[in-house]
A and B are shown apart, each in its own frame.
Chain A
Amino acid sequence: MTPVLDIRSLARAWDGKPALRDLSLTLQAGGMLGLIGPDGAGKTTAMRMACGLLRPDGGEVRVLGLDVQRDGAAIRPLIGYMPQRFSLYPDLSVDENLRFFSELHGLSRDQRQQRRERLLAFSRLEPFTRRRAGALSGGMKQKLALACTLIHEPRLLILDEPTTGVDPVSRQEFWDLLGDLARGGMALWVSTPYMDEAERCGHIQLLHQGQVIAEGRPAELSASFPRRILRLEGADPQAVRQLVQAFAGVVLHRFGHSLHLVCDPDQEEGLRLALRQANLEAKPQPPTLEDAFFHAVAHGSLAA
């Protein structure tokens, strides 16, 4: 089957500094691919090139077999792209914005009505359809922007950090909606700073300084975290910090009342013993995708 999105060795520099080096990926219909990475990793640069908005220095992008650079006009209607900063018309109402974008994409009245309902439901904007977009709260604006992007159902949807500022309820409903779209055959490529969102993707690529430094299914990535995590509840962070100073490379993270100590496998026994002598009982903590993210970004890979 021809992939919906096929990227080979994509590269781009800004002012001579490489922003993206050698990105390759394939995305099939119904697939959901996640792109994660720290600020400035090159995520937006990659997505803009995939949409044909930015010229690559090297490599190629194909959408349903067509070359984005050569066949841009044919490809444009197949792609829906939501940039990080999407502009709504602040003087138009919620409803007028939705209508504007459906007309732009040539939707029929029936199509528009049907999608409008679903989109207003997830975004909880139904009571506010007549309010000016400029008078919406930050998160409401973001949700309206999402609704405007989703009103046309393209073959390929590219979303650049779509849920910034969106509350947890709407975020969950939004991802349920993305799941339905994927099951309906749409291909989705999504960047996100939320690890729980990345976990909903079939496959993830972790981009750092323009390079993919880890990729795989979310569970594979968490499982390949090479260190151990010990959890302490209610311990005094200062005291623990002092205590672990004797162990080279042990990292301490504070999460409210819990402390996480990250150590190498061969340090675990000694560390637990030292904690026990201070009357602290540490529990093993299974690594999450966020832990893998941290390690990969700090060390350049998920290798030990």
Chain B
Amino acid sequence: MRPTTESGLAVRAHHLSRRFGDFTAVDSLDLDVEAGEIFGFLGANGAGKTTAIRMLCGLLAPSAGEAWVDGLPISTHGEAVKRRIGYMSQRFGLYDDLRVGENLEFYGGIYGLDSAAIKARRGELLERLDLSQALDRPTGSLPLGYKQRLALGVALLHRPPILFLDEPTGGVDPVARRAFWDLIYEVAAEGTTVFVTTHYMDEAEYCGRVSIMVAGRIQALGTPASLKAEHGARDMQDLFLKVVGT
């Protein structure tokens, strides 16, 4: 198991808010995620998921409120927080003109790993993510499913205890999606906390707990089974339509 915080909380948000001009994108978010959870951060388009994740990753300053990631307050420990998390953005953020191996080396450098550590970790990740044969391919030429696995590899380079995945499987075919979730289960089984957004409701079913966000606020929170029972929903798709629809 990886080290957890004293409280055992990987993520805690308290009245976390973000405004753009007079529009409130994240509205006083309160949320606790325990270490080791696979937490599904669901919600309508524009509900504020990416904005909230960017604040939790120390990439965007909150307008109000506070959050703790791995026990550290994001307001004062932004840099330390960045070292303890892996972040995979909605657009992956890879360098298309670098080769697969070079992307891993480049990010390894950013995370401050020395070259021996990068080399060892690179080999391990390429193997695990089934990317070894793509090592020398330019990233831009890869099918989406490969890019997605590489982006996960980059996020895992420095063995962070918490992973933030923002729509990691958007546009990816069903075979690649299942393979990706097998990897998520593996990483979670090692004790890593996984905080993931998705618009695929079959994936929501794979999460230990989910929240459903609408217009900056969390409207539902619990395990898939408890939420379905509470709302009389057949499946997660039906639940989402009931909570977000109308």
Asked whether B61 is an interface residue with its Cβ less than 8 Å from the other chain, the reply is no
A48 CB to nearest chain B CB (Å): 17
The answer to whether A165 and B175 have CB atoms under 8 Å apart is no
Asked whether B3 is an interface residue with its Cβ less than 8 Å from the other chain, the reply is no
Q: Give 10 A-B pairs besides A165-B199, A193-B174 with Cβ atoms closer than 8 angstroms.
A: A38-B175, A165-B90, A167-B45, A168-B201, A168-B237, A169-B244, A193-B173, A254-B185, A255-B205, A298-B175
Asked whether B62 is an interface residue with its Cβ less than 8 Å from the other chain, the reply is no
Number of residue pairs across A and B with beta carbons under 8 Å?
Answer: 98
C-alpha gap A290/B47 in the complex (Å): 29
Asked whether B178 is an interface residue with its Cβ less than 8 Å from the other chain, the reply is yes
Asked whether A138 is an interface residue with its Cβ less than 8 Å from the other chain, the reply is yes
Contacts of A254 in B (CB 8 A): 181-182, 185, 206
Contacts of B46 in A (CB 8 A): 124, 128, 136-137, 139-140
Q: Interface residues, chain A, CB within 8 Å of chain B?
A: 37-40, 84, 124, 128, 135-140, 142-143, 161, 164-172, 193-196, 253-257, 290, 293-294, 297-298
B244 CB to nearest chain A CB (Å): 5
C-alpha gap A142/B201 in the complex (Å): 19
The answer to whether A39 and B144 have CB atoms under 8 Å apart is yes
The answer to whether A138 and B50 have CB atoms under 8 Å apart is yes
Contacts of A170 in B (CB 8 A): 44-45
B183 CB to nearest chain A CB (Å): 12
Interface size of B as a range: 35 or more
C-alpha gap A107/B59 in the complex (Å): 43
By beta carbon, the residue of chain A nearest B181 is A254
Asked whether B60 is an interface residue with its Cβ less than 8 Å from the other chain, the reply is no
- B240 partner, pick from A128, A142, A168, beta carbons under 8 A: A168
A274 CB to nearest chain B CB (Å): 23
Sampled A-B contacts (25; CB under 8 Å): A38-B145, A40-B143, A124-B44, A124-B45, A124-B46, A128-B46, A137-B45, A138-B167, A138-B170, A139-B46, A139-B199, A142-B45, A164-B171, A165-B45, A165-B90, A165-B167, A165-B170, A168-B240, A169-B241, A169-B244, A170-B44, A193-B171, A193-B177, A196-B237, A256-B224
Interface centre among A137, A161, A171 (most CB of B within 10 A): A137
The answer to whether A193 and B172 have CB atoms under 8 Å apart is yes
- Of residues 156 to 182 in B, which have CB atoms within 8 Å of A's CB atoms? 167, 170-178, 181-182
Interface centre among A84, A143, A165 (most CB of B within 10 A): A165
Asked whether B136 is an interface residue with its Cβ less than 8 Å from the other chain, the reply is no
- Of residues 168 to 216 in B, which have CB atoms within 8 Å of A's CB atoms? 170-178, 181-182, 185, 199-202, 205-207
Contacts of B91 in A (CB 8 A): 138
B92 CB to nearest chain A CB (Å): 12
By beta carbon, the residue of chain B nearest A237 is B185
Contacts of A164 in B (CB 8 A): 170-171
The answer to whether A39 and B173 have CB atoms under 8 Å apart is yes
Contacts of A172 in B (CB 8 A): 241
B29 CB to nearest chain A CB (Å): 16
Contacts of A290 in B (CB 8 A): 174
The answer to whether A38 and B45 have CB atoms under 8 Å apart is no
By beta carbon, the residue of chain A nearest B50 is A137
Contacts of B244 in A (CB 8 A): 167-169
- Of residues 79 to 98 in B, which have CB atoms within 8 Å of A's CB atoms? 90-91
Contacts of B237 in A (CB 8 A): 168, 196
Contacts of B143 in A (CB 8 A): 39-40
Contacts of B145 in A (CB 8 A): 38-39
By beta carbon, the residue of chain B nearest A137 is B46
By beta carbon, the residue of chain A nearest B185 is A254
Interface centre among B91, B172, B173, B176 (most CB of A within 10 A): B173
The answer to whether A168 and B199 have CB atoms under 8 Å apart is yes
C-alpha gap A47/B47 in the complex (Å): 33
User: Ordered nearest first, which 3 A-B pairs have the shortest CB separation?
Assistant: A139-B45, A39-B143, A164-B171
By beta carbon, the residue of chain B nearest A43 is B173
By beta carbon, the residue of chain B nearest A136 is B46
Contacts of A294 in B (CB 8 A): 174-175, 178
Contacts of B245 in A (CB 8 A): 169
Contacts of B167 in A (CB 8 A): 138, 165
The answer to whether B171 and A161 have CB atoms under 8 Å apart is yes
A18 CB to nearest chain B CB (Å): 16
The answer to whether A39 and B205 have CB atoms under 8 Å apart is no
Contacts of B36 in A (CB 8 A): none
Interface centre among A142, A167, A293 (most CB of B within 10 A): A167
